Amino acid sequence: MKCPFCQHEESDVVDTRDTEDGRIRRRRECAKCGRRFTTYEEVEKEELFVIKKDGRRERFDRHKLLVGIQKACEKRPVSIAQIEEMANWVEGKIRKEDEKEVKSEKIGELVMERLKKVDEVAYIRFASVYRSFADLESFEEALKNLKRKK
């Protein structure tokens, strides 16, 4: 591992820890200049494809998942940590199924399951885009279902 300060190619690992998102955090010390720096390792994940509603396939994009959750949670009391946790949970669920393809509907349902527990307004926002409410009646039906489950 090259030192980011002097570019020397040898360093010693001082500390190793697992992170909450499944990566490995290593504190290193350069053998030449003695400065310390942090590196992260992550397990290479198998390629995962999303089957869209129109039948198209595209690579799973965690960033896209995060952006969707963030939009639903805009101006709501939901922390970045909670959003990250939701994205980690959704990705973990779909990867545990050990399939190479997952339907976008499955991802949407998982996101809504978590949003419902975290923030009901964010849940309704996400559902309105995900379910493409065509009219006021379908929106009202979603609200009634939310109230019933309380």
**6-26: average pLDDT:** 90
Residue 13 has pLDDT above 90, yes or no: yes
Q: Is the pLDDT of residue 86 over 70?
A: yes
Which residue pairs from 10-13 have beta carbons closer than 8 angstroms and sit at least 24 positions apart in sequence? 11/37
- CA–CA dist 86, 144 (Å, integer): 24
| Mean pLDDT taken over the chain | 88
Beta bridge partners of 41: 24
Beta bridge partners of 58: 50
The mean per-residue pLDDT over the stretch 80-104 comes to: 91
Alpha-carbon distance of 40 to 17, in angstroms, equals: 10
Which pLDDT value is given to residue 134? Answer: 62
Question: How confident is the model over 99-140, as pLDDT tens digits?
Answer: 899 999 999 999 989 998 999 889 888 888 877 666 677 777
pLDDT tens column, 48-74: 999 998 999 999 999 999 999 999 999
pLDDT higher than 70, residue 32:
yes
